[in-house]
Structure 1
Amino acid sequence: MAAKPLTEQEIDRALTGLSGWTAEDGRLVRGYGMPNHLAAVALLVHIASIQEELNHHADLTVTYDRVGVSVTTHSAGGRLTDLDVRLAGRIEEIAPAHGAV
């Protein structure tokens, strides 16, 4: 069963619980400042393990001390779904333990 795209109201509601996240062009987007490069890579690996668990994957970027996350549901035509919100929420739960701001 394909994931159902969220309405604008559902996206707005979801964003109230996702500090620092924005909705841009059918994606949930967030950047994290990290204490250093190793912390950035550690967060990336932790996110990768969550993605495997959920079988839903974000586009991730790492620079020296930043991690960028961009989430969408390709099977829903590049629209936001509950899968994206769940993944973003899980990332929000683990990011502080890696020193993310």
Structure 2
Amino acid sequence: MAVEPLSQKEIEDRLAELPGWAVEEGRLTRTFRLATHGAAAALVVHVAQVQEELDHHSDLTLGYNTVRLAVNTHSAGGGLTELDFSLARKVADLAPAHGAS
């Protein structure tokens, strides 16, 4: 099934439902802050599991107490698609359980 890029209006509407997320250089991004490096690493593992379930992967960057995600859909010419926002919603839902803000 082909994945189509979202329109600018669709992107703006979806961003309004995802506090803390932004579009930077054509990618959906967010940086989470956590209390410790261990908590940040645990969040990375949890996000990686979700990405495997969705078969859709972001760039994950682990810092001392931060986790940064950046995602777009390569098969849609690098555009943002519903897949990207689905991943973002799932991550936004699970991050608080890790103490992420």
Q: Percent identity?
A: 52
Q: Which amino acid aligns with 1:50?
A: V
What's 1:93 paired with? Answer: 93
State the number of aligned residues.
101
SS at match of 2:23: strand
TM-score under structure 2 length normalisation:
0.98
Q: Distance in 2 between matches of 1:83 and 1:25?
A: 18
> What is the Cα-based RMSD across aligned positions, in Å?
0.5
Q: Distance in 1 between matches of 2:3 and 2:43?
A: 27
Q: Which amino acid aligns with 1:4?
A: E
Structure 2 residue 37 is the aligned partner of structure 1 residue 16: no
What is the deviation of 1:25? 2.0
Q: Which aligned pairs between 1:48-59 and structure 2 lie closer than 5 A?
A: 48-59=48-59
The gaps in structure 2 that reach 5 residues or longer are none
TM-score under structure 1 length normalisation:
0.98
What's 1:43 paired with? Answer: 43
